[in-house]
Amino acid sequence: MRVSDFIIPIFIIFIFAFAGFRKINTYQSFTKGAKSAVKLSIDILPFIATILIAIQLFARSGLLDLLCVALSPVMSVFGIPVELTHFIILKPFSGSGSIALFQEIVTLHGPDSYITRVASVIAGSSETVFYISAVYFSKTKIRNLSYAIPVALFCVFLAAVLASLVCLVI
């Protein structure tokens, strides 16, 4: 047995003990939280559905492949392996889609290759921009995303450039 096996059970016991000490009805608090989680899920569902449909249309229409071909020279200028263009473009849109591409990259190039290491750093250093934006901005009064999305996409690209440089040095 490792100590890490006990961290979550100890944390849960601590929460219940703390709630008991403060005389908080844990069952009522749990059901109240679950009720608000269901409401949140219903509120953000249209935003998430829109993004998922847009991703599928973008990929199935062939525009994603055309964009990859067009951006490959730019990627190579910045030191990003051309093989990762599809991965870098898809990452801000779909977490599960980028994981599938990552698995394909590992299978194709091997786990210790430069391309796989760069893909690993990119996967760990960026987020699905449009999904997170849909979730966060659906619950706020901010409707003008003219700055947030471009800055986030620039950061994803910058993370890819830095990942390529770091993996080249290490």
DSSP letters, 81-134, are -GGGHHHHHHTTT-HHHHHHHHHHHHHHH-TTSHHHHHHHHHHHH---HHHHHH
Indicate the range of 3-12, 23-32, 97-106, 144-153 predicted with least confidence. 144-153
* Residue 29 neighbours by CB under 8 Å, 6+ apart: 19
Looking at residue 43, what is its pLDDT? 82
Q: What band does 117 get if pLDDT is binned at 50, 70 and 90? A: very high
Categorise residue 127: left if φ over 0, alpha if ψ from -120 to 50, beta otherwise: beta
**Token pair 């994803």 is at which residue?**
156
pLDDT digits (tens, 9 = 90+) for 58-93: 888 989 889 888 988 988 888 888 889 888 888 888
Looking at residue 11, what is its pLDDT? 93
Q: How far apart are CA 84 and CA 69, in angstroms?
A: 11
Res. 150: pLDDT tops 80: yes
Q: What is the dihedral of CA 116, 118, 123, 128, to 10 degrees?
A: -120
Of 67, 111, 72, give the one whose Cα is nearest residue 90: 67
Which percentage of the chain shows pLDDT scores above 90?
Answer: 24
Q: What band does 107 get if pLDDT is binned at 50, 70 and 90? A: very high
Res. 140: pLDDT tops 90: no
Looking at residue 119, what is its pLDDT? 92
40-44, 112-116, 131-135, 152-156: range with highest mean pLDDT:
112-116
Q: How far apart are CA 68 and CA 87, in angstroms?
A: 9
SS3 of residue 14 by DSSP: helix
10/149: higher pLDDT: 10
User: What pTM was computed for the model?
Assistant: 0.67
Cα angle 145, 146, 152; round to 5: 75
Looking at residue 61, what is its pLDDT? 92
Which DSSP symbol is given to 140? Answer: S
Cα angle 60, 41, 31; round to 5: 155
pLDDT digits (tens, 9 = 90+) for 16-62: 899 889 988 888 888 998 998 898 888 888 877 887 788 788 888 98
Of 91, 89, 77, give the one whose Cα is nearest residue 123: 91
